[in-house]
Amino acid sequence: MDGLTFDIPPSRAAGMSPRRAEPYTRLAVIGMGSWGTALAAVAASAGCEARLWGRRETLAAAIAETRQNPDHLPGIDLPAGLYPTSDLAEALDGAEAVLIVTPSHTLRDMTRAMKPHLPDGVPIALCCKGIERGTGFLLSHVVEEELPGHPVGALSGPTFARETALGHPTAATVAFPFRHHDRIVPERAPAARLALTMQTQAFRPYVSDDLVGVEVGGAVKNVIAIACGMMTGAGFAENTRAALITRGMDEMKHLAEALGGKRETVTGLAGAGDLTLTCSSTTSRNMSLGTQLGQGIAREACFDGKPTVVEGETNAISVVDLARRVGVEMPICEAVHAILHEGAPLTETFQALWSRPIEGEPRALDIILHPHEGDPA
């Protein structure tokens, strides 16, 4: 792979040559589901050795033999350079960077299992999305607690695994906090090196220093997607979904800002992009769950009764809990939480959401108008 050239501002360019970032040559991808497999395929296509780990020895063996993931990405050939394994030590041996693509609720246990095998100082990028239930921690905080001394970031964006693995043009954000040294020598920053590692003709990464904003976008969009699905399943159409997406993005912005993130991050790939994709297709399990519930299907009968992890179900609890702690109003997320976890009726809950007092759309316009409830006496 060619190095990535960083332009130097004219004021600093005199007597200096363009600087080149070097990609990582060996990547560990922890999680053998559809997204983990797709990311490992992207890295391998870019020329990186990608070791793909999963718990099931039989699945790892099937991928090695057929060069396909029969359980999660059937029919898609996987590139050379992708090496499946069920041995965690083997996956992490010599890894220069790690992508964690396991469900968010398993993250703490997963990082503890990784610790004895992880080389010192290796950057870790989270490719799962959520907020830890109970603690209210962003997932990066969980990793920082369990694996101190490792740079922690995230890879996020509007990305369906199957389309990514098929080589459809796809863009995503790679976010790591930028330390002083990273700003002086940006080509050595983990975000820059991982972005270059993942770049192919079809997969285009962007670099961000706003990890908080990217993480909040990834967690909240799952909950808003369930809301969109519920209203779609209940028979409503484009107006309703557009309103939920737009106001859901507003909820995202306020939570991100309250936690130290940047509002503009929420308008980027990891916010608006991911939100729009997830809220527009039942390829998203969050949207699909909401649609089935909106059609009146009982939760235990959704997905034909098959146990299916839907991140937004857990996120609805953790996002709402965190928002309440920091004093951020998130009425759409509250509505989804009430329906999923408090037994609230779907129709009445959304009617109440639409009947809330009228507010100014820019928060700077401090106005609240209560609905007229009848003729004056």
Q: Is 112 annotated as a binding residue?
A: no
Helix (H) or strand (E) holding 83: strand 82-85
Indicate if 262 belongs to the active site: no
Within 8 A by CB and 6+ apart from 46, the residues are 1, 23, 197, 198, 199, 200, 203
157 marked as part of a ligand binding site: yes
Identified catalytic residue from 221, 253, 262, 306 = 221
* Token couple for 32: 């053998």
DSSP state string for 94-126 = T-SEEEE-S-GGGHHHHHHHHGGGPPTT--EEE
Is 222 annotated as contributing to ligand binding? Answer: no
Q: Is 25 annotated as a binding residue?
A: no
The answer on whether 309 is annotated among ligand-binding residues is yes
Question: 354 among the known binding-site residues?
Answer: no
| Tally of helices (H runs) and strands (E runs) in the chain | 17, 12
User: Per the annotation, does 133 bind a ligand?
Assistant: no
Consult the annotation and say whether 188 binds a ligand: no
Return the H-helix or E-strand segment holding 204: strand 203-208
CB atoms within 10 A of CB 374: 5
Give the chain's largest Cα–Cα span: 82
Question: Is 286 one of the annotated binding-site residues?
Answer: yes
Residue 264 assigned as binding residue: no
Which element (helix H / strand E) includes 353?
A: helix 346-354
Strands 170-175 and 97-100: unpaired
- 33 annotated among ligand-binding-site residues: yes
Residue in this structure with the two tokens 């809220």, named with its chain if needed:
279
> Annotated binding residue at 285?
yes
In degrees to the nearest 10, what's the CA dihedral of 251, 255, 260, 264? -10
Q: Is 56 annotated as a binding residue?
A: yes
Dist CA 221 CA 219 (whole Å): 6
> Known binding site: residues?
31-36, 55-56, 129, 157, 159, 161, 221, 274, 284-286, 309, 311
> Known binding site for NAD(+): residues?
31-36, 161, 285
Q: Which residues are catalytic?
A: 221
> Known binding site for substrate: residues?
129, 285-286
> Known binding site for sn-glycerol 3-phosphate: residues?
129, 157, 159, 221, 274, 284-286
> Known binding site for NADPH: residues?
34-35, 55-56, 129, 161, 285, 309, 311
